[in-house]
A and B are shown apart, each in its own frame.
Chain A
Amino acid sequence: MQSLQAAIDELRHDEQFMACVTRWERIPARDGEYCPLPADLAGPLRDALERRGVDRLYSHQCASYRAARERTSFVVVTPTASGKTLCYNLPVLQRLIEQPSARALYVFPTKALSQDQQAELNEAAIAGELAVKVVTYDGDTAPSLRASARETGQIIITNPDMLHTGILPNHPKWIKFLKQLEFVVIDEIHTYRGVFGSHMANVVRRLRRIARFYGTDPTFVCCSATIGNPAELAERIVERKMLLIDRNGSPSGEKHLILYNPPLVDRVQGIRRGVVRESRRLALRLLRSGIKTIVFSRSRVRTELIAGYINRSLANHYNDNERIRVEAYRGGYLPSERRSIERGLRDGSIHGVVSTNALELGIDIGGLDAAVLGGYPGSIASAWQQAGRAGRRNTVSLAIVVASAAPLDQFMVKHPEYFLGRAPESGFVDADNPYILCDHLKCAVFELPFRECDPFPESSIDALDYLEESGVVRNTSGSYYWTDRSYPAEGVSLRSAASDNVVIVDSTAGRHDVIGEMDRPSAKEMIFDNAIYIHRGRQFIVTDLDLENRRCTVIETDANYFTDALVKRDIKVLNEDQRERMSGCDLVIGDVLVRSQVSKFKKLRYETHENIGYGDVNVPEEQMHTRSAILVFGDDTDAGAVARDLDPSVLGPAIARIGSLIKNVAPVFLLCDPGDIGVAERLRDPHFGCPALYVYDSYPGGTGLSESFATRIDPILSACLDLTRQCTCAEGCPSCVGPRDPEEEIDESPKAAVLQLLDGWLTRGR
């Protein structure tokens, strides 16, 4: 078993490897910044910590403790493995010892994380030794336990959805808890951005309003991963001034970050070795030297493939008991499987793991020494997150980013200064989005009659008057009351995806075992009839996908290929509500139908990934009705005129890239997340008969973003133009129009093409 340092030295002397390396960044080790355990820490708590080997704190844990004790709300930015949990557990437990009637609420973004936390709090002798009652309160909590949780739970662990539909609308049952609520912990606050963040901000508004009703004003403790604007985001979610604690006091060993571009196999056509193969080669090299490695891959199928290939290679070489154990990990595994893999990583019985971004954050998986990123994960923040999974306190660590053939990856690997110099993305939230605000106002009125003096935004009164007209609310004697027999929270979903998963059942040889699950839209693309489904290395073939009953039946198989579906996406106008001449084009707002249809699949041989056949797929298309703003390049518009002058082979990519620009720029104006809007371009749109660019809400029914976009179209388009002009890149980069794509046939650079169109169009009218 080699040490990692030896492996690193070996790589550095490997000529073939180094020929593909575009950057080798050495980040020096960092000493920890410590401070002693707080003087006012209660004896039993101090003992419990010391028994777990904790006899001093990191500086950020101290700062968190102090802020919490002073009742200052704060957000602490913590990369992984920096003792985040102690930042909130320590002051909360201390307070509960001093005052057992005090209460704390912990909110985690998903149920899986909540259950991990409860396990940690309970198992970790701390809470057990101190007799603090910790209860998870979510959809799975048995009814018989709910009453006792409300009455005597001192720390309640929950998630935003349960808070929204279960706890807040039933707040009188929680009176004992709410009257004593002193702390609210919001973990992973960076996940609350865009539309989801806007929902969360409103849930927090309702929580604070109810707390005020019972006479409390809890301190908010937020934990965030590294993003561009943690303090701003936290302040938008909680609507209070937040102290920012972002100086990380935990020590870290020296980190090596390598950007690696697989070698060319065909110089003429510019084809490189595939990312799957390269990631697996590098990972095997590290694993065989005894180095604990995590491989991140971009899709579930690739995760299974890479893990399968690695295990096959290892099986050929190691027949003794010191087998190197490598597991795959992704959403869709049973919770018990995921827990056991996490445990195996923590206790060291699992030496390597291949994962989707499911293991990027949150879950404690002990210390791994090396990370191989199979492809750029799509954001700077994610890339650093994933790379950060390698490394423990004082030892050296290695992260290798392997570029795929995708233009974005190629750009990143060829411009390392861009990657290294770029700040992580910022998160935006618009808590006053009228659609979202209105939904939550209904819930708020149900919870407590709404008075004019209620500290909700001023626009709330208009929304309430609108609700009164539709009969669900009544305004009398200065308050608005709920006058409908329905339960409003049930009709408001915080998340866009419907969470009705398809269950995967193994029916080989008469069995009936549930082996996994998958969300419905992905199921249509991945586990259609005759698809190959790989689960932790075992192969199955799908015999029947029953979407209505949400079941997929599979039987074991041993094929020499895997399957990949071809998905066609389409957007269709259902009706136009508005059409106006604006900004040099026709701006249309209306309802659209966004469709994705799987019609065929490819059979790809393992290892070589060559295409060995096709098959048909018969699944209904996935449909989403939503709202869209459409920029139509009508014949008599400026945009249309400029477009006519461009060669069609250039016009298509140019419009598409304007779409990418909008996707990058609009979130700043609309205060949403790039994922909240979708763009689609048409060279010759069937409905309009000319070029068109769609900007739509990626939520069924729309959430007001298209309308908002339409009112801000001038500043957004100007910002797009400025961004492109001022960008220091030569031909185009991910921050502006996107990097050059060899598949497009543009002779000039993409940037020039876009400027020709955009500049021409916007300056023509002036």
Chain B
Amino acid sequence: MYEIRSDESIPGWSRRWRTDAFYSHLIGREVRAADLSFIDCETTGLSGGAGTLVFLVGVGRVTAGRIEVVQYLLADFPGEHDYLELVLDRIGRSTVWVSYNGKAFDARLIETRCVMNAIAPPSPTHIDLLYWARRLWRRILPDCSLSTVESGVLGCPRDGDVPGIEIPDRYFEYLKKRDAGALEPVVEHHRRDIVSLAHLFVTVEEILAAVATPDSETDGPATAARRYDSYQLGRWLLAAGDPRGAGLLQSVIDRSSTSIGAEDRYAAAYLVARHHRRTGHSDLAEAVLADVWRAAGSSAWCVHLVSEYAKLLEHDCRDPARALELVVAARRLTDRLTPSGDLERREQRLRRAVTARERRER
């Protein structure tokens, strides 16, 4: 086994976190930088089957704003057992893993290799930044591969990088001929992957921090310039029970310029209004709905918005008459484009409710 060490500074890190311990939004608690392991693997194939091996495991650790990357290279197949034991020992059992697609691939593969070598596989806390990249940038970037995210978000594209498809064959070459030259580009590619992980980690933390404390001064110009999909992030946060998602969705509603998805405003309004109703703030819900539903006339969301608004008027405000007025007006607006059985039924039901009430009041 060979160890290759390197280090470089992560400017975003020192800007963001002066001390070693900080609150991580991704993990949801205070952590020390030393507890984080930025992990990536190079493998001999893409399948998770028994014949795919991990030949290069890299671990990055940040101290005082600098990331030290140690890359462990498997010298040859027979040494795999000792290699795995040593690597897992160096990573340590109580660290938090940060990876890119590691949950589905790297960690599964390491587990398989452990099983094949009769070693107890690790089961660490694992933050997979791919899922975050999808939430934040799937609709903005052409794809969510690490290299696309690097050039599109982190602003540091690579040139002359070895294509992924060549990597296994270079390792097999190396095994046969022991020519380190063939492997150097792979090692460099792998190292950069890990460094990018750290940059990406900072970026996502910054975005989440900005969402959490929108008026904070810790946001430098770097954050403001970063585009991300507020709608998707807001939607995810809200669904995960984080009320700050509502704030983010509100910003989507308020934006006058078009969002990534033309209908994000209406979708966001629907989700926010529903959230407000559930948390007992019908007045806030009404404020959102009254504003938006008419504008949504030509969208499929109109029916959802109107239904939500009608429910609010009928049940929360106990005013079926106003609800009926709303539905009638909405149907006049939308039926031409998208006749809705829902609205028709709601109108009939409301008519019956209004008539019943009038009868009672007489």
Question: Closest Cβ of chain B: how far from A556's Cβ, in Å?
Answer: 34
B44 touches which of A170, A477, A483, A488 (Cβ 8 Å): A483
Residue A318 lies at the interface, judged by CB distance under 8 Å to chain B: no
Contacts of A171 in B (CB 8 A): 50
A: contact size bracket: 20 to 34
Assembled-state Cα–Cα distance A38/B76 (Å): 55
Which of B47, B76, B77, B115 meets A487, CB within 8 Å? Answer: B47
Q: Are A447 and B172 in contact (CB under 8 A)?
A: no
Cα of A175 to Cα of B121 in the assembled complex, Å: 13
Q: Cβ of B76 and Cβ of A485 under 8 Å apart?
A: no
11 CB contacts below 8 A, A to B, read A169-B47, A172-B112, A173-B48, A447-B51, A448-B116, A471-B172, A482-B44, A485-B45, A487-B47, A487-B51, A488-B51
10 shortest interchain CB distances as A-B pairs: A446-B51, A485-B168, A477-B78, A482-B51, A169-B49, A172-B115, A172-B112, A485-B45, A481-B77, A483-B172
A446 touches B49 (CB 8 A): yes
Interface on chain A toward B: helix, strand, loop, or mixed SS? mixed
Cβ 8 A contact of A485, one of B44, B77, B78: B44
**A99 lies within 8 A of chain B by Cβ:** no
B50: contacting residue among A446, A471, A477, CB under 8 A: A446
A374 CB to nearest B CB, Å: 48
Q: Range of interface residues on chain B?
A: 20 to 34
- In the assembled complex, the CB of A192 is this many whole angstroms from the nearest CB of chain B, namely 25
B176 within 8 A of A: yes
Give Cα A608 to B46, complex, Å.
61
Q: Is the CB of B176 within 8 A of A172?
A: no
- Given contacts A175-B115, A476-B76, A487 and B49 within 8 Å (CB-CB): yes
With the chains together, A476 CA to B78 CA distance in Å?
8
Residues of A within 8 A of B237 (CB): none
Q: Which of A173, A448, A483 contacts B112 (CB 8 A)?
A: A173
Option from B50, B169, B172 in Cβ contact (under 8 Å) with A172: B50
A169-B50, A446-B51, A485-B44 in contact; A474/B172 too (CB < 8 A)?
Answer: yes
Partner among B48, B77, B111 whose Cβ is within 8 Å of the Cβ of A474? B77
A33 within 8 A of B: no
Taking A483-B175, A485-B169, A486-B45 as contacts, is the C-beta distance between A170 and B78 under 8 angstroms?
no
Inter-chain contact count A-B, CB under 8 Å? 61
A479 adjacent to chain B (CB < 8 Å): yes
Complex contacts, B48 vs chain A, CB 8 Å: 170, 173
Given contacts A172-B112, A476-B78, A479-B77, whether A484 and B172 have CB atoms under 8 Å apart is: yes
Could you say which of B45, B51, B115 contacts A445, with CB atoms under 8 Å apart? B51
In the complex, chain A residues 143-179 whose Cβ is within 8 Å of any chain B Cβ: 169-173, 175
Q: Mark B35-74, 1 if CB is under 8 A from A, else 0.
A: 0000000001111111100000000000000000000000
A684 to chain B, nearest CB (A): 52
What is the minimal beta-carbon distance from A89 to any residue of chain B, in angstroms?
31
- A447 vs B112: C-alpha distance when bound (angstroms): 12
Q: Do B46 and A485 touch (CB < 8 A)?
A: yes
Which residues of chain B are near A449, meaning CB under 8 Å? 77
The residue of chain A having its C-beta at the shortest distance from the C-beta of B113 within the complex is A172
B166, chain A: closest CB distance, angstroms: 10
Given contacts A445-B51, A447-B50, A474-B172, 11 further A-B contacts (CB under 8 A): A170-B48, A173-B48, A173-B112, A446-B50, A474-B175, A477-B76, A477-B77, A484-B168, A485-B46, A486-B45, A488-B51
A169 to B111 Cα, complex, angstroms: 15
A446 CB contacts on chain B under 8 angstroms: 49-51
- The residues of A that contact B112 with a CB separation of less than 8 Å are 172-173
Q: What CA separation (Å) do A476 and B80 show in the bound complex? A: 13
Do residues B45 and A487 form an inter-chain contact, with CB atoms below 8 A? yes
If A474-B175, A483-B175, A485-B168 touch, whether A169 touches B76 (CB-CB below 8 Å) is no
How far, in whole Å, are A448 and B77 apart by their CA atoms in the complex?
12
Question: Considering the chains assembled together, what is the distance between the CA atoms of A487 and B168 in angstroms?
Answer: 13
Q: Which residue on A lies nearest to B50, using beta carbons?
A: A447
The complex places the Cα of A488 from the Cα of B49 at a distance, in Å, of 10
Across the two chains, which residue of chain A brings its CB closest to B115? A172
Residues in chain B near residue A477, CB distance under 8 A:
76-78
